[in-house]
Amino acid sequence: MSKRVLITGGAGFLGSHLCDRFINEGFHVIAMDNLITGDLKNIEHMFKLEQFEFYHHDVSKFIHVPGELDYILHFASPASPIDYLKIPIQTLKVGSLGTHNCLGLAMAKNARILVASTSEVYGDPLVHPQTEDYWGNVNPIGPRGVYDEAKRFQEAMTMGYHTYHGLETRIVRIFNTYGPRMRLNDGRALPAFIGQALRGEDLTVFGDGSQTRSFCYVDDLVEGIYRLLMSDYVNPVNIGNPDEISIKDFAEEIIELTGTDQKVTYQPLPRDDPKQRQPDITRAKEILDWEPTVSRADGLKVTFEYFKNLPEEDLYKYAYPRSFDK
Ligand code: UDP
């Protein structure tokens, strides 16, 4: 019989790519999502498969899944600056209550659980590049606090279940990731810049654009996560691409890629926006024999194709409002 995996946030950007991967590996996949930020379009190609199921459910509430489960991947969470402002309470709840429910379910099913953490646990880092041993520089009450602290609590609770209950747990710290199925207009730099180029608007760089990020293509990330889940390593592992670039240079790359004749305009830097971010992936290399293989140039080409082929009205759709439980 095939192994069974539950993927929360299964209709989201990362969750849906994980569903694809586990289907391809021969698993029975149960995707769960409340569709606040996820979208059925990301998974509808799997609806016809017998080994795929979708549950419309908010994991911050008690989770019921009939039958056995071998693995749980907890990927349900809003994850963009607009989300933190628009749905802060849901962001806090899914990282805390949602994680608690997933851990309880893992106990009940005797399943191994992997939780999606984030480079945001390092906050505006004072150590560069960031190793897993760095404890971070986080403002709990700033605009990003609802995400950062929920994810930090998530890590604490996951380790608690591991040490107290002996649950099999894995923690991945995900750095900036991009690829097809990202939401346009969710405030993130890459879809913002590509959307602006496609609409014929100037590209809005926040601050002076000297802040850095390191962008990982989604297929590389999924490979790292798969290897971590199958490993026996319990402490957090950074998965990301160390190829660091300033946001100003990144905007220039998007201008070049899209062939737009628009320019960069400068807008105020949001509060607590990390000044620099680059993963130290020594641990992933040593333990998982993993490193990224897709260059930014190649990954961006594929991603631009995806956005270019979306229906034109999507370009003008704002990520909100959507209906959801408060
Ligand atoms: N950013 C920008 N213009 C935009 C959107 C984002 O200059 O229209 C900047 C943002 O301030 C940040 C960087 O791009 O410094 C990456 O932003 P994103 O939201 O993609 O990720 P995060 O800040 O969470 O790493």
3-state secondary structure of 185: coil
Q: For 4-177+217-239, CATH number?
A: 3.40.50.720
What is the tens place of the pLDDT at every residue in 247-293?
999 999 999 999 999 999 999 999 999 999 999 999 999 999 999 99
Q: Ligand 1 centre from 52 Cα, in Å? A: 34
For 2, the token pair is 């095939």
CA nearest to 247, candidates 295, 281, 215, 199 = 215
Domain regions of the chain by residue span: 4-177+217-239, 182-214+243-277+295-317
Q: Which pLDDT belongs to residue 263?
A: 96
The residues of the chain scoring below 70 in pLDDT are: 320-326
Q: Which fold has domain 182-214+243-277+295-317?
A: UDP-galactose 4-epimerase; domain 1 (3.90.25)
3-state secondary structure of 265: strand
CA nearest to 211, candidates 276, 278, 126, 128 = 276
For residue 269, the ligand 1 atom closest to its alpha carbon is: 11
Q: Which of 206, 241, 272 to mutate to test ligand 1, by most ligand atoms within 8 A of the CB atom?
A: 206
What is the tens place of the pLDDT at every residue in 222-249?
999 999 999 999 999 999 999 999 999 9
pTM, to two decimals:
0.97
For residue 211, the ligand 1 atom closest to its alpha carbon is: 15
| CB 270 near ligand 1, within 6 Å | yes
Q: Whose CA is nearest to atom 17 of ligand 1?
A: 189
How many CB atoms lie under 10 A from the CB of residue 208? 11
Q: Which pLDDT belongs to residue 326?
A: 57
Task: Kindly state the helix (H) or strand (E) to which residue 115 belongs, with its residue range.
Answer: strand 112-118
Amino acid identity for residue 168 in this structure: E
Helix 247-258 vs helix 189-199: crossing angle, to nearest 10: 40
Tell how many helices (H) and how many strands (E) occur in the chain: 9, 13
Q: Which pLDDT belongs to residue 317?
A: 84
Q: Which pLDDT belongs to residue 175?
A: 98
Contact 225, 114 (CB under 8 A): yes
Cα distance between residue 85 and residue 132, in whole Å? 28
Pairing between β-strand 71-74 and β-strand 112-118 as defined by DSSP bridges? parallel
How many CB atoms lie under 10 A from the CB of residue 267? 9
Q: Which pLDDT belongs to residue 323?
A: 61
Check if 147 is active-site.
yes
Strands (E), 119-268: 169-174, 177-178, 203-206, 212-214, 216-217, 237-239, 244-246, 264-267
Tell me how far apart the 2 most distant CA atoms of the chain are, in Å: 58
DSSP state of 279: B
Task: Please list the residues that pair with 173 across neighbouring strands.
Answer: 117, 238
| CB 188 near ligand 1, within 6 Å | yes
Q: Which of 139, 213, 215 to mutate to test ligand 1, by most ligand atoms within 8 A of the CB atom?
A: 213
Cα first-last separation, the chain: 40
For residue 147, what are the contacts with CB-CB under 8 A and spacing of at least 6? 77, 78, 79, 83, 84, 91, 95, 118, 120
Q: Which pLDDT belongs to residue 227?
A: 98
